[in-house]
Structure 1
Amino acid sequence: MPKTLPLAKQIKELQEKLAWYEERELELREREARLQMAVDAIKFGTWDYHPLTGELSWSDECKKIYGFTGDTEINMKVFSEHIYPADYDFVNNEIQKAMDPAGEGNYDIAYRITRFDNAGVRWIRAKGKVYFNEKKQAERFIGTVTDITDTKTAEEKNAKLAAIVDSSDDAIVSKTLEGIITSWNQSAERTFGYTAEEMIGQSILKIIPPDRHHEEVEILSKLRRGERMEHFETRRMKKNGEQLDVSLTISPMRDSQNNIIGLSKIARDITEKKQEEVRKNDFIAMVSHELKTPLTSLRSYIQVLLVKAGDDEEPFKINALKRADIQTKKMAAMIQDFLNLAKLEEGKISLNKTRFDLDELIKEITDDAQYFTSAHTIKTETHPGVIIEADRDKIGQVLMNLVSNAIKYSPRGGEIIVGFEQKDNNVEIYVIDNGVGINPVDQKNLFKRFYRVKNEEIRTISGFGIGLYLVAEIMRYHNSEIKVKSEEGVGSRFSFQLPII
């Protein structure tokens, strides 16, 4: 007979085995708890399907994804009814594939569902594994489900954006904050002659002429501060060395935390437009020169006649000739504006800087301006002894433009003030009127070439929209800026600063 262990020893062994099983069960529960915590943390829903019995169970997170809040029993029929109709055949085929014992039992698909609560359409990703019994029957099918609607929406948006970028007629380029190119669309290939393979990973300086490399430093500096550049006109270089005129719009690209991570650049080839502008400016310059000669002669004749009428003491003739003289001066100023515009567009404008007394220049300008109007009072707020170094003629042109505008847009009897005040090492020069004023929208565009304020009150006032553009450009050449403060129905204040010697 086999030897029987003492009862006490048998009980001890049973207790040890029981303790071992309890420890394993505790470990298993802890693992399941950690797994459940991980699943809950990443918003995974879980499902468990037993094909042989038809039993299907969903976790709380899975029910939440499907919008299931009722007490209805979950089964394959209910599940199938909430597969988006267009995806139904695809999903069933994938389930059958996974449950085929000839395969490995893996299941990983993305498809759409209709929610139980509001019939809303959502994208989900279902991933699972089928387990087979000894008879190669699918015995258990378990897995996870995740709502990927936001990801799918972003993918669709990116796909549409990519299609737009690729089909755009403008060159669209993205680059890092260090100026390294990260994308290069088909239009960029056509415009500059480089393929995407040749440019991605290269410095943007590859297409910038050497004499314009400083522009990139300025552009990157502005964009790093989150600023946007619109319609910046410059020149860029093609693969064959040919230069072309482009208009650049550059914007910062940000991540989800609003950090600037790169730059997006749209470059439009404006070579033909620039050539057309050159032809137009040549025509304007030619016509202006042709008009200037007879106008000079006409003014000379008027001056002679004014002297003669004064000798003859004929008040009517004197008055008529003074008015004619004023109109010829206005025409001469207009022609000079067109000539200056042509020079500016051709880059032929230059500064002849000298030192001069600002008070004297302002008095000259206001005296000449008062000659043009008897319906307005022009006052000065100046004092002698303020010396600046600038192009005297061009600063005079700026002031005459500003005062002429103040006269044009102020009511009869209005007051115009021209003056200056010292601000540290600068002097701020200003022209103030109590005219119609300018609305905020027009103020943003006021210094653009050929821009005219859209206001019924001034519709009948003549002008070409080049005076303030020339003012802004002359100030830019002086490393200064023209500023405006204005309120409709109250008036305007134009000002700029220059350094004091």
Structure 2
Amino acid sequence: MSHTKQTGRLTPAPSEMHLHILEGLPGALFVVDNDATIVYSNAKAQAITGTSPEALHGNSFWNGASQLVSTALYQAVQKTKQTQEPTEVEYVSATTNNWLHVSLSPTDAGLAIFFQDHLDPPHLHDALSLNEQMYRGLLESFADGVTILTPNGLVLDINQRPLSDARLRREEVVGKLFTDLPAWSYDSTVQQQLHSAIARASRGETVRFEARIRPRTDLYLDILMTITSHRAAAGQIEYLICAGRDITERKHAEDELRALVDALPQFVWIAEPDGAITYNNHRLIDYLAMTPQQVEGTGWLSGVHSDDRQRVWETWQLCARAGIPYEAEHRLQDGRSNTYRWFLVRGVPQKDAQGTILRWVGTCTDIEEQKRAEERIKASEQDFRLLAEAVPQLVWTMWPDGRLEYTNQLYQEVTQANLHLEGDEIWRQFVHPEDIERTLTLRHEVLKNGKIYENEYRLLDGRTGTYHWFLARALPVRDEAGQVIKWFGTTTDIDEQKRLEEALRQSQQQTNALMNSDIIGMNVVEGEQIVDANDTFLHMTGYTREDLRAGRLNVLSLTAPEDRTQARQAFEELAKEQALTPYEKEYLCKDGSRLPVLVGGAVFQHHPLRAVGFVLDNSARKELEQRKDDFISMASHELRNPLTALKLQTTLLRRQFTRQGILDQASALVNMESQIHKITRLVEELLDVSKIQAGRLEYAWEPVDLDALLREIAETVQQTSPGHRILVQSVARATVTGDRDWLGQVFTNLLSNAIKYSPGAETVEVDLCVYAETVTIQVRDHGLGIAREQRDKIFERFYRVADPRQKAISGLGLGLYIVAEIVTHHGGTITVESAVGKGSTFTVAFPKEKSGS
């Protein structure tokens, strides 16, 4: 959380000076009244919304600044208005993907809302808090359209489904009244229905209703809308959640079924809610050769074949009790000829608005010819299934109504389910949520028009729990009359193909982005010759496309003479490793000037004679580093003389206090000397860094007894840090060649750090070990520890760990940098192992033989 100072209360009529201050704020400022109407916005607020003051002022904040609206912001506004206390909130704008920090303060007439981009914004994927990720992921995971509203109906957030249907952008919707959106406003009756539902939900009711909406002029949808309210901790309603489920397909199916019952020349029957038959049309009565009275109730069962009767009765009773559609195939007796024919019997319950079954309406469709065709097909079924089990694809057959009839063994192994036995609903569970609606729509159209089916979708592999891309193809099998009697389909795994296509697409996008970059210079080389380059590279070097076409650009000729050996080594590395580790050098530009650059490269896999080079302008960083080094050198030298004089004066003052016996002042002097010592230490570190950067750190090489040196340093540090016990352990005496003073500085810094960063621990351990070729020294503490991602950075200049507890410990972040430089100059290495809250272990390793000079 940023610690931005809270914006104070604003008066209704700020002075010219106040306005000047507001316009100079580093972020966007809005002042709104109690109705959320914008009464003032500074220049940055107008810039962030891309709107003029005239368009903002007098407009609703939720509408005028829709790019900034989120549910989190709305809750913060409500909280500030209720408590009249300043509030802060951070969130990611769903429109701009910027990480925003917002400070809200009550004013005399409303609120001041102050926006700042995050001061040190991390990458969005890493920055999102767990709650933010869960909220956004959950919102977009719904197949339904989900909209978050204020209690009075303003849109705060919306997921992608309704935006896609309406072909609208989020910023065109947020901040507007939900009832005014095109999907609802096209019909005043529908609009009023929604308005009434929002009003009821804002009083705490859960409201459900069906409506036909028009997201755009060429699209109508039937939806089931559910509106629920969300309450704050204090019990008041904070916002409303509207979930709209698309029931267009269901409504169409119902309409078609009603038309079928009314119009088709079929056997039609009607039953009471409990399943008792009350009506049969004349065609059914004539077929059964029974009177209406004989058929009513359960009399119709006498016309069902005895082999089917028990199964049919149990199924019908189950559906009647559960209120679910009835469907069964069975044989009915022709009362005139006493022969039996196969029928498909279907029944659907008709319900009122409360869901109570009013009646059952059903049909009996003669499928005798279909059954005969099925018998003919059945003769070849065994051969087909043997073939289906042999091919390396998922094979399936389907009835004309979409029910699976058969899946081969491979299909069952992939899904870990026998889908044609477990039902069509089970199959839907294996299709990826993002593909199910498209797949079902296409499936419905194909079943309706009988055309060849082809679709790509992701299917869940039950063996691994992962989704794979499959290509499904199906052909209709028709009878002699041209009617579809079955579908034959195959499903082929195309996951690897999809991955290659996606990798190629991403590679092309990344290549285009790099080539069009105005930051990264890019060139394509064959050998040492540059054969292509982007505009950024040409601008860096001062050359033109004409120079490029004329072959005037050569990598070595562009490279400064002192860097050409390194450039040749880079070519060798590129040829051997197929990639080039980035390194620094200087280019000779066309006008004769020099340009510091950072270069890297990689070989084209499909064209091994060519490589692509990446070039970054390094001049700004080089200049900045030089300025920083100059400043460090100047500051450290300028501070040294006053400190020397100050130390001399405190020494004289101590002697005077001692002679005069003034003990109270002497105690204060001790504190002064302690602070002077700290400053002196910091200045010495700056001087050391300055010498290191200038290459002027001098070393006196001699044999150094590490065991004696470690014990001497430990004793000295122990005297200044009595709160910790320093334990030195060594298994053998070890001697290395080096500078004794600088090696002493290494272990002084490591021990001082170990004590500083383990304030709650009692001991620091130092272990000296001798191996065949190396000598190692380990300094172990039991303190705060270092996070894994920060371990490599702690040896950089001025780097401080970002933990608040460690920031409170004084220092410039130079000690470990100096340690690493001295160790490296002695031919050694330094590493660290650490865990947050469990302490750190620094390991220094030196070769037994001198490796520096």
Amino acid aligned to 1:300:
L
Shift of 1:441: 0.9
Would the alpha carbon gap of residues 292 and 476 (structure 1) be closer, same or farther in structure 2, given more than 3 Å must change?
same
Q: Choose the corresponding residue for 2:699, options 345, 352, 357.
A: 352
**Which stretch shifts more, 388-397 or 151-160?**
151-160
- Pick closer, same or farther for the CA change 1:281–1:203 going to 2, 3 Å: closer
Q: Which residue number corresponds to residue 445 of structure 1?
A: 793
Sort the Cα spacing of 1:241 and 1:369 in 2 relative to 1 into closer, same or farther, 3 A: farther
Change (3 A) 1:270 1:157: same
Question: Secondary structure at the residue paired with 1:397?
Answer: helix
Separation in structure 1 between the aligned mates of residue 603 and residue 669 of structure 2, nearest angstrom: 64
CA contact (8 A) 2:777 2:844 kept: yes
Contact 2:532 2:548 in 1 (8 A): yes
Shift of 1:389: 2.3
1:340–1:349 contact (8 Å) kept in structure 2: no
Partner of 2:718, secondary structure, is helix
- Shift in Å at residue 439 of structure 1? 1.3
CA deviations over 1:428-453 (Å, ceiling 9, x no partner): 23321111111111113222333221
**Residue of structure 2 aligned with 1:117, choices 450, 454, 462:** 454
Say which is worse superposed, 460-469 or 318-327, in terms of deviation: 318-327
Whether the aligned pair in 2 keeps the contact of 1:209 and 1:236 (CA below 8 Å) is: no
Question: Given the alignment of the two structures, is residue 207 of structure 1 paired with residue 559 of structure 2, yes or no?
Answer: yes
Matches of 2:702 and 2:596, distance apart in 1: 37
Contact 1:426 1:499 in 2 (8 A): yes
Give how far 1:340 is off.
2.9
Q: Which residue does the alignment assign to 2:616?
A: 268
Contact 1:184-1:200 at 8 Å conserved across structures? no
- Structure 1 distance, partners of 2:549, 2:829, is 43
Q: Find out whether 1:191 has 2:540 as its counterpart.
A: yes
The aligned amino acid for 2:595 is L
- Aligned-pair CA distance for 1:486: 0.8
2:744 equivalent to 1:396 = yes
Q: In the alignment, is the contact (CA less than 8 A) between 2:688 and 2:697 conserved in 1?
A: no
User: What's the CA shift for 1:410?
Assistant: 0.6
| Alpha-carbon distance in structure 2 between the residues aligned to 1:497 and 1:404 | 19
Question: In structure 2, what is the Cα distance between the partners aligned to 1:348 and 1:403?
Answer: 26
CA 1:420–1:115 in structure 2 vs 1: closer, same or farther (change >3 Å)? farther
User: Is contact 2:520-2:536 (8 Å) kept?
Assistant: yes
Is 2:706 aligned against 1:365? no
Q: How far apart in 2 are the matches of 1:475 and 1:165? A: 40
Report the 3-state secondary structure (helix = DSSP H, G, I; strand = E; otherwise coil) of the residue aligned with 2:640.
helix
Distance (whole Å) between structure 1 residues aligned to residue 571 and residue 762 of structure 2: 44
User: Retained in 2: the 8 A contact 1:185–1:196?
Assistant: no
SS in 2 for 1:117: strand
1:213-238 deviation line (CA, Å, top 9, x unaligned): 236526854994578746x4444443
Matches for 1:24-39 after TM superposition, within 5 Å: none
Aligned residue for 1:171? 521
What amino acid is the match of 1:170? I
Q: Within 5 Å, which residues of 2 pair with 1:224-303?
A: 224=576, 229=581, 232-248=583-599, 250=600, 252-253=602-603, 255=605, 264-303=612-651
> Which letter does structure 2 place at the counterpart of 1:332?
T
Counterpart secondary structure, 2:454: coil
Is 1:461 aligned to residue 809 of structure 2? yes
Q: Equivalences for 1:35-434 in 2 at 5 Å?
A: 116-118=453-455, 160-168=509-517, 169-174=519-524, 183-194=532-543, 195-197=547-549, 202=554, 204=556, 206-211=558-563, 213-214=565-566, 217=569, 221=573, 224=576, 229=581, 232-248=583-599, 250=600, 252-253=602-603, 255=605, 264-307=612-655, 319-345=667-693, 347-357=694-704, 358-382=706-730, 386-434=734-782
Tell me, in whole angstroms, the C-alpha distance in 2 between the residues paired with 1:474 and 1:156: 49
Q: Which of 153-162 and 324-333 deviates more? A: 153-162
Taking structure 2 as the reference length, the TM-score comes to: 0.37
Q: 1:296 to 1:476 in 2, by over 3 A?
A: same
- Structure 2: segments with no counterpart, 5+ residues: 1-396, 401-450, 458-493
**1:188 & 1:162 partners in 2: Cα distance?**
15
Report the CA distance shift for 1:265/1:211 in structure 2 as closer, same or farther (over 3 A).
closer
Kindly report which structure 2 residues correspond to 1:452-491, keeping only aligned pairs within 5 A, or say none: 452-491=800-839
SS in 2 for 1:172: strand
Note if contact 2:783-2:840 (Cα within 8 Å) is conserved in structure 1.
yes
Which runs of structure 2 are paired with 1:2-17 in the superposition (5 Å)? none
Deviation, 1:264, is 4.6
The code of the aligned residue for 1:247 comes to L
1:6 maps to none
1:497 is matched with 845
Using the TM superposition, name which of 186-195 and 219-228 deviates more: 219-228
Whether contact under 8 Å (2:601, 2:611) holds in the other structure is: yes
CA displacement 1:221-259 (0-9 Å, x = unmatched): 4994578746x44444434554332234x3645748xx9
Checking the alignment, whether the CA contact within 8 Å between 2:732 and 2:770 is kept in structure 1 is: no
Q: In structure 2, how many angstroms separate the alpha carbons of the residues matched to 1:297 and 1:383?
A: 45
CA drift of 1:494 comes to 1.1
Taking the aligned partners of 2:593 and 2:514, their CA distance within structure 1 comes to: 25
Q: Secondary structure at the match of 1:352?
A: coil
Change in 2 beyond 3 A, CA 1:180/1:402:
farther
State the number of aligned residues: 364
Tell me: CA distance 1:261–1:456, structure 2 relative to 1, closer, same or farther (3 Å). Answer: farther
Q: C-alpha separation between the residues in 2 aligned to 1:279 and 1:298?
A: 29
Per-residue displacement from partner, 1:135-159 (whole Å, max 9, x unpaired)? xxxxxxxxxxxx9999987876565
Distance 1:203 1:443 in 2: 37
RCO comparison, higher one (Cα < 8 Å, 6+): 1
Length-normalised TM-score, structure 1? 0.60
Q: State how far apart, in whole Å, the 2-side matches of 1:223 and 1:417 are.
A: 48
CA distance in 2, matches of 1:416, 1:222: 47
Give the percent of matched residue pairs that are identical in Structure 1 and Structure 2. 27
In structure 1, list runs of 5 or more residues that go unmatched. Answer: 1-68, 73-113, 121-146
Q: CA RMSD in A?
A: 4.4
Contact 1:170 1:268 in 2 (8 A): yes
Report the CA distance shift for 1:71/1:370 in structure 2 as closer, same or farther (over 3 A).
Answer: closer
Structure 1 stretch displaced more, 453-462 or 468-477: 468-477
Give, in whole Å, the separation in 1 of the partners of 2:833 and 2:498: 50
For 1:397 and 1:279, locate their aligned partners in 2 and report how far apart those are by CA, in whole Å: 27
| 1:289/1:415 CA distance change after superposition, 3 Å | same
Secondary structure of the 1:447 match is coil
| Alpha-carbon distance in structure 1 between the residues aligned to 2:661 and 2:731 | 39
Deviations for 1:26-80, whole angstroms, at most 9, x for unmatched residues?
A: xxxxxxxxxxxxxxxxxxxxxxxxxxxxxxxxxxxxxxxxxxx9999xxxxxxxx
Q: CA deviation at 1:117?
A: 1.7
User: Shift in Å at residue 292 of structure 1?
Assistant: 1.1
**1:309/1:255 Cα in 2 relative to 1: closer, same or farther (>3 Å)?**
same
How far apart in 2 are the matches of 1:464 and 1:219? Answer: 40
The code of the aligned residue for 1:326 comes to S
Report SS of the residue matched to 2:701. strand
Change (3 A) 1:363 1:270: same
Distance 1:460 1:222, change over 3 A: farther
Structure 1 residues 311 and 443: alpha-carbon distance in aligned structure 2, compared to 1, 3 A threshold: same
